[in-house]
């Protein structure tokens, strides 16, 4: 059983190395790494402005005030 599992692991490792080599070759043909492309796409989304409703702002404000009141109550 153990030998079979070790043989399977060796086979999977060969496949992983083959896939990694293919990814590296592909990344070189397009002139940049996939990580760079994903990073650029992710940062573009961060620039998008999000709006918050007045009701949500009020709820957050009240929650923050309650937290500070609790902190200040412990000090007194």
pLDDT in tens, 7-24: 999 999 999 999 999 988
Classify residue 49 by burial, with Cβ atoms within 10 Å: 0-12, 13-18, 19+.
exposed
pLDDT in tens, 5-64: 999 999 999 999 999 999 888 888 887 655 555 555 555 556 677 889 999 999 999 999
Q: The tokens of 7 are what?
A: 């043989």
């Amino acid at each position: 059983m153990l030998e079979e599992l070790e043989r399977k692991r060796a086979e999977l490792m060969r496949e992983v190395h083959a896939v990694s080599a293919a990814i590296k070759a592909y990344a070189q043909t397009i002139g940049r790494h996939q990580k760079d492309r994903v990073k650029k796409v992710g940062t573009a989304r961060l620039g998008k402005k999000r709006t918050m409703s007045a009701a949500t702002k009020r709820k957050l404000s009240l929650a923050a005030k309650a937290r500070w009141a609790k902190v200040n109550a412990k000090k007194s």
